[in-house]
Amino acid sequence: MKAIALTLVLALNAGAALAQARPSTVSRPCAASQRDVQMHGAIVLGTGGFTYDRFVRNRSFCQFDESLDPAWVPSRDTDACFVGYRCKPQSRWFDD
């Protein structure tokens, strides 16, 4: 019985570690979000409510068929904070 209880406790703790909260740009100063992108290279940030996105420092964090798209997000101290880039699929057609 004790072994089952111990197993359940360990399983619950492991699940909590996997469900870590992501930083939210709207509750932090712009510089904090910029610093996180520069320091980590690629990071998922919350952008308000239940929305989030992945932001990158440069193209080396994108797939080979993706390009960079400048990313501006709301922050605590400004409405439009440049945090880095999003990876965007490259168009295979000229008229897209």
Give the confidence band of 6 by pLDDT, cuts at 50, 70, 90.
low
**Strand order across the 51-56 sheet:** 42-48, 51-56, 81-89, 66-73
Give the confidence band of 24 by pLDDT, cuts at 50, 70, 90.
very high
* pTM beyond cutoff 0.85: no
Residue 90 is predicted with a pLDDT of: 87
- pLDDT tens track for 31-90: 999 999 999 999 999 999 899 999 999 999 999 999 999 999 999 999 999 999 999 998
The DSSP letter of residue 26 is G
